[in-house]
Amino acid sequence: MKNTKKGIFDVLDLAKYLNFLHNEKYKMNISPLKLQKVLFFLFGEWGAFIKQSSNDNDSMELVKYSPYLFDNDFEAWVYGPVVNEVYKNFKNEKLSEKEIFNTDEKKYVGHFIKDLCTELFQLSDFRLVELSHQKSCWKDNFNAEETYHNNIIDKDEIIDEFIREI
- Residue 102 · residue 8 · CB < 8 Å: no
Of 137, 107, 139, residue with least CA distance to 41: 137
pLDDT digits (tens, 9 = 90+) for 103-122: 888 888 999 999 999 999 99
DSSP secondary structure letters along the chain: ----PPPSS-HHHHHHHHHHHHHHHHSSPPPHHHHHHHHHHHHHHHHHHHHHHTT-GGGGGGGGS-S-S-SPPEEEETTEEE-HHHHHHHSSS---------SHHHHHHHHHHHHHHHHHTTS-HHHHHHHHHT-HHHHTT--TTSSS--EEEPHHHHHHHHHHT-
Q: Where in the chain are the domains?
A: 11-164
Q: What is the pLDDT of residue 105?
A: 81
Above 50 in pLDDT, residue 3? no
pTM score, whole prediction:
0.92
pLDDT digits (tens, 9 = 90+) for 40-84: 999 999 999 999 887 766 566 788 899 999 999 999 999 999 999
Q: What is the pLDDT of residue 58?
A: 57
